[in-house]
Chain A
Amino acid sequence: MISAGIDVGSKNIKVVILDGDKIIGKAIQTGSDDQEKSIEETLNSAVKDAKIERSAIEKIATTGIGRKVFKEADYVITDVTAGGRGIFECDNAVRTGIDVGAEESKAIKVNQVGKVTDSAVNEKCAAGSGSFVESMARALGIDMKAFAELALSSDAKIPMNAQCAVFAESEVVSLIAQNTPQKDISKAVHDSIASRVSSMVRRVKLEPRIAIFGGLAYNPGFVSAFKKNLEIEDIFIPEEPLFVSALGAALLAQEKKEG
């Protein structure tokens, strides 16, 4: 069966097309204010990548914050269930998946068949998500990639106590005013987000193997700080962390029983 999984995230739309369990096409596009149009465009790009006709797709499942927007979806699945299924497919030894997206981070525990058994979400503030790192990089006037890599060259331990992304930005401004090196500020920001995500993850009681996916999995500064915070070296990062939930949705679309 050919199925499509569409992850309508708060920043990007990701599509995975599966033929059985084989990925035959995928696409990613930044969302716009016309979400339906953006979904349509991303799906068409994935169809082109898969070299199939759109009509060849038998089932479509949507997930993510905008999962209810696309009217053609056969199934609408939360990103908790889709993410859990997707990361389990990437490595079936994974029992705790940590999805750190643009606006939300979540911990998803799965059992030995990939079914979600527990989950937690950051609820107080965006200080535990990708957009927080982006706004801190902006405050320093550095692009995201360079900002993430800078953290790796610092050994400084500067605590950031802010409970909220807005207050954290004030702390960064104070550090700039004190002529704190950029690499140390970057490290402080990544330590701070790693600490917040770790606290949230501990609420579901960590069980190895642990995996990180979502946009922040590409950020070496975060991954390094996160490993140190949890004191765990073996953290699995899938090849394409952004597509995990879309993959899970595409798989669930095939596995969903009719009726």
Chain B
Amino acid sequence: MIDNCSAILDEFRTIRKTPETYLKNIDKPIIGYFETYVPEEIIAAANMHPLRISPDNAPITIGNSKIESFACPVSINFLDQLLSGKLSFLQGVIFSRYCDSMRGVADIWQENRGKSFYHFIPYPTIATSESINFLSDELEKLAEHISDYFNTKISEEAITEAIRISNKKRLAVLKFYDLVKKGELLISSSDFFAIVSLATIMDSIEYTEKLERFIDQYEPVSNQNFGSNIKVAVSGIMLESMQFFETMDKVGLRMTVDDLMFGSRAFKGLISKEKAGLYQAIAKRYLNKVPCSVKGNLDLRIDELVNDCRESGTKGVIFYIVTFCDSEEAEYPILKKRLLEKKIPVIAIEGGYRISSTGQLLTRLEAFAEQIGERL
């Protein structure tokens, strides 16, 4: 890598490590969201910064007072961040109908939020012309709610521009994925995760410009050491623990493909112009994108994953299940069966929003490396 490229990568690493420092310099009101089904374009069109909230690495303080501890730990963490005031720098939050746990978090926050902005999108599960119409109307209501609450105006021009910016970002991220997949860009699992995860944290224009420069200036270094360098894919809904990816690096498992909610699934599919209008166009893109396990259409997701694995020469898939996530628990046997039919080994690793059992994680990843690699 040439110096400039290294500098950009260092900057990405620093922001990923301390996003709060970066966010302090955002000179726009910040609106938070939790799931990939909240269109960032509408928030951006109101001249606000859309921020995807990640689970933090802190222990739960008051979150368990509102939700039982055997519920989804990611949901409990989100609620904890909201109730404890850690997210008080936000001007408001937007939820969508994602899973039952997050529905509970949305309801509890609605009762406890005081006067801060809150909006819930009753997101349909399937993509039909009726559901696209329905979501389109709901997105228009979201725009009206933001406009009324913040006394601003969301013009068609602003939405068009926000769509252009988000599409450009998606294209840059997809190009990055493509290069990693083809082996033209060699990067560790932790750096891969850091770069992709920042796409929904940083300012879109700044992020895209930095990522495009990083890609343009990238030159592989022949002596770059990735240990045993076994190519794997990581699948699941929410995996935000840097420790997980650093353990992958340590074991010599190199992520070349991901199938995570805020990984490739957040970027595949652009918003195209629609005669029926901008909201229709946004609704269509979000309803037709590769879905999470809570939204069904597993066939599309598995097909995408298998294709990505084949194109990249991936030797196995790590499926991360968030403890107590019924959807993922139910999905895993199907996904495993389908991947094994394609001769792609898969391992399920279960855990919370942070890694508590580091020894077990290391053993499981090493065992998988021994299984699919040439180490033994």
* A interface, CB within 8 angstroms of B: 65, 77-81, 104, 115-121, 123-124, 163, 203, 252, 255-256
Least CB distance, B81 to chain A, in whole angstroms = 24
Instruction: Give complex CA distance A140, B339 in Å.
Output: 46
* Residues in B neighbouring A163, C-beta threshold 8 A: 70
From B143-151, B298-306, B363-371, give the one contacting chain A: B363-371
* Residues in A neighbouring B333, C-beta threshold 8 A: 203
Name the CB-closest residue of A to B357: A123
Instruction: Give complex CA distance A115, B376 in Å.
Output: 9
* Known interface pairs A65-B363, A116-B370, A252-B376; 7 further A-B residue pairs with C-beta atoms within 8 A, sorted by A's residue number: A80-B364, A80-B370, A117-B371, A119-B347, A119-B364, A119-B371, A120-B348
Tell whether, in the assembled complex, residue A80 and residue B363 are in contact, meaning their CB atoms are under 8 Å apart. yes
- The reply on B140 being an interface residue by CB < 8 A is no
Instruction: Give complex CA distance A123, B347 in Å.
Output: 13
Tell whether, in the assembled complex, residue B363 and residue A123 are in contact, meaning their CB atoms are under 8 Å apart. no
- The reply on B345 being an interface residue by CB < 8 A is yes
Instruction: Give complex CA distance A79, B363 in Å.
Output: 8
- The reply on B85 being an interface residue by CB < 8 A is no
Tell whether, in the assembled complex, residue A123 and residue B350 are in contact, meaning their CB atoms are under 8 Å apart. yes
Instruction: Give the size range of B's interface with the partner.
Output: 20 to 34
Instruction: Give complex CA distance A193, B99 in Å.
Output: 31
Name the CB-closest residue of B to A103: B360
Q: Which of A78, A115, A118 has the most CB of B within 10 A?
A: A78
Least CB distance, B60 to chain A, in whole angstroms = 17
Least CB distance, B332 to chain A, in whole angstroms = 8
**Which chain B residues in 343-376 approach chain A with CB under 8 Å?**
345, 347-351, 357, 359-360, 363-364, 366-368, 370-371, 376
* Residues in A neighbouring B348, C-beta threshold 8 A: 120, 203
Given contacts A117-B345, A123-B360, are A80 and B350 in contact (CB under 8 A)? no
Given contacts A77-B376, A104-B360, A124-B323, are A119 and B367 in contact (CB under 8 A)? yes
Least CB distance, A87 to chain B, in whole angstroms = 15
Tell whether, in the assembled complex, residue A65 and residue B367 are in contact, meaning their CB atoms are under 8 Å apart. no
* Residues in B neighbouring A115, C-beta threshold 8 A: 371
Least CB distance, A206 to chain B, in whole angstroms = 13
* Residues in A neighbouring B70, C-beta threshold 8 A: 163
Tell whether, in the assembled complex, residue B345 and residue A78 are in contact, meaning their CB atoms are under 8 Å apart. no
Least CB distance, B339 to chain A, in whole angstroms = 11
Tell whether, in the assembled complex, residue B345 and residue A118 are in contact, meaning their CB atoms are under 8 Å apart. yes
Tell whether, in the assembled complex, residue B350 and residue A116 are in contact, meaning their CB atoms are under 8 Å apart. no
Name the CB-closest residue of A to B364: A121
* Residues in A neighbouring B345, C-beta threshold 8 A: 117-118
**Which chain B residues in 157-197 approach chain A with CB under 8 Å?**
none
Instruction: Give complex CA distance A76, B31 in Å.
Output: 48
